[in-house]
Amino acid sequence: MNRRKIYTIILSTLSVLILGIIVWHVSSTSTKKTQAEAQQQVIKKKQTKKKLREKAPSPLNVKDDKHMVNLKDFKYNSASEKKKYPDLYKYPKAWIDVDITTQRVYIKDGKTNLYEMYSSTGKHDTTPRGTYHIQNERGDFFYTAPLKLGAYYYVSFLNHGEYLFHTTPTDEQGTYVKSIAKTLGREPSSHGCVHLSVPDCKWIYENVPSGMKVVIHGKYRLFVKSS
């Protein structure tokens, strides 16, 4: 083999090696850039979530009506407010406002709050948002065997018995489950229904007519601890 062929082979080999190094460098740089961008996106998402949590009003820090029972003193078997419930005959256009973010239910006449109630909506964001109307299905007690939970004073607002206003849950014997009861006004704990205190829910059961508008809205808030 003459020298020219040897030089040609060497040059070809070097060219391939250099090209390989260049390709590897470009690929490595691109990969590092992609990883860095991905990390930045993760950081931005975490920062955004943190800001949203900071901006969203906590159920534990809501500016409630002046007649509200202090949340620290509130019990599942007491009314949410110290004043009387409204006379709905005087407010034929009254409606129910359910705020998932603050875990409150408001009885309203237009934009005026007539009465405010501590509530607990769906855990894992299972309470449907939208505009609904009180349906005919209502009763003084039910028990769901698969869930091993029941409740008093239920009133349907969606799917004819699937989504309800009802008291904080009970066991099969009708005894209130205190571990769930303490979440009222503090955090979501239901399977999609709206939990209320016993007096508040009894009032809705006895006074709110079928056809009354129900509006459910708000952001689901995570990691709100009961006290």
Catalytic positions, please? Answer: 166, 193
- Contact indicator for 183, 151 with CB cutoff of 8 Å: no
Task: Count other Cβ atoms within 10 Å, centred on residue 175.
Answer: 9
> What are the backbone dihedrals phi and psi of residue 63, each rounded to the nearest 5 degrees, phi first?
-80, 90
- Residue 36 carries which side chain, given as an amino acid letter? A
Question: Strand 112-120 and strand 138-144: pairing?
Answer: unpaired
Residue with token string 């016993």: 198
Name the token pair of 142: 């039910």
